[in-house]
Amino acid sequence: MDPTSHIWRTESNGGKQMAASVAAVVVGAALTIGFRQFEGSGLTGSRAGFLLGLLLLAIGLGALLFAGKQIITVDTKARRILIEKINRFGRSAKTIRFDEIADAYVGQLGDREGGSISYHVLVKLRTGQEVALFKGFFDGSHSKPDMEARCQHLLQCLQT
């Protein structure tokens, strides 16, 4: 955000989202084709591979179909956060006023025991509800220091 500007706008990375969707489709199709001919009682592994392929194929196709862009705009002059979601089927928007926000901190998704961890900024509202910002395919979502920097920037915006 430019120090003279009162608007901080961040968009999700559509390229990464598309790549993940295509990878799921390709792997799912490969597993489905590779394990499609299973016969006999001792081939439960082949059935599992086939079903896993179908599941990945369905997830990948669903992600391709419903994938979209998320745009987060923090406007310090209007004192609000606008969260827009745009996909093939339309657009939705949610507005959070600064006076509704009680706190902001970094949250995480994933497993520390060998899994991939992603980070996002959680905004806690005065009602107790939590709203995740920068969750998903945003640049820096796998870097805790990057998300902590975004959280600090958001907290500074809330104080202006």
Which tokens hold the place of 30?
Answer: 């490969």
Q: Model confidence over 53-88: pLDDT tens digits?
A: 999 999 999 888 888 888 999 999 999 999 998 888
Structure pTM? 0.73
Q: With bands split at pLDDT 50, 70 and 90, how would you rate the model's confidence at 39?
A: low
Residue 110 per-residue DSSP state:
S
Predicted local confidence at residue 150, as pLDDT = 92
Q: Between 93 and 3, name the one with better pLDDT.
A: 93
Question: Highest-confidence range of 34-38, 90-94, 135-139, by mean pLDDT?
Answer: 90-94
Residue 136 per-residue DSSP state:
S
Q: Is 43 helix (H, G, I), strand (E, B) or coil?
A: coil
Inter-CA distances, 124 with 49, 108, 129, Å: 41, 15, 6
Residue 80 per-residue DSSP state:
E
126 has pLDDT over 50: yes
Q: State how far the Cα of 136 lies from the Cα of 71, in Å rounded to an integer.
A: 12
Q: State how far the Cα of 81 lies from the Cα of 8, in Å rounded to an integer.
A: 9
Q: State how far the Cα of 50 lies from the Cα of 34, in Å rounded to an integer.
A: 8
Q: Cβ-count burial of 127 within 10 angstroms (0-12 exposed, 13-18 middle, 19+ buried)? A: exposed
